[in-house]
Amino acid sequence: MSLPGYKRVKPGDTLSAKRYNALEDTAQKGSDAIPNSYRDADGSYSRPGRGRNTAGTEFIRARITASTEVDTPSTNRWTYSWVEVEKAVVGYGTAGVGSWSTKAGGRSGVNDAFNHCENLNDTTGTQGNGVNVDGAGFPANFALQPARVGVVVLLERILFSVSEVNYEEYWFSYESGIDGTCD
């Protein structure tokens, strides 16, 4: 779900600090442009590190439901689909099932979440998980994997502006695993 006037960001877009600050100032004044459904019970927003805020940052617990490669050939980066979850049982819950369930009426997204650890990944060299994929010790027939479907992550909802256009993205951190077949 996007705020009115916002559109999803594309990889490679850059941030206009002037536009972001203008958006943040407007939101702090309680602009009518921000729907009540996005406000806390007292009508404001929370943003860690900046006090009561706005359209800047929000955190959501979500389960990854799918991944899609960003580039062909692969640059070890993916976009992710997700669904909002809530704590359902104490501790870990049942093995293989976990302790989080899909939140009734919760939010979801399709290919609009990105992994901080994949941000600088490429086809060669050391990747975001610290592994050199073309180093002498990296086994043939192995490759970086996307965040595992089913894993629960802490998504950070970020609203920003590029060239006077508003965007909304979701980011999380998850170190990619490596998988393949042995010869």
pLDDT tens digits for range 71-100 = 887 888 999 999 999 999 888 888 877 889
Confidence band of 11 (pLDDT split at 50, 70, 90): low
Sequence length of the chain is: 183
Could you tell me how far CA 69 lies from the centroid of its own chain?
15
Model pTM score: 0.67
Q: What gap in Å lies between CA 1 and CA 174, rounded to an integer?
A: 23
SS3 content of the chain, % helix, strand, coil (to 5): 10, 40, 50
Both structure tokens of 120: 């600088």
Q: Do 48 and 69 contact (CB within 8 A), yes or no?
A: no
Higher pLDDT, 20 or 132: 132
The reported pLDDT for the residue numbered 105 is: 95
Q: What gap in Å lies between CA 118 and CA 130, rounded to an integer?
A: 11
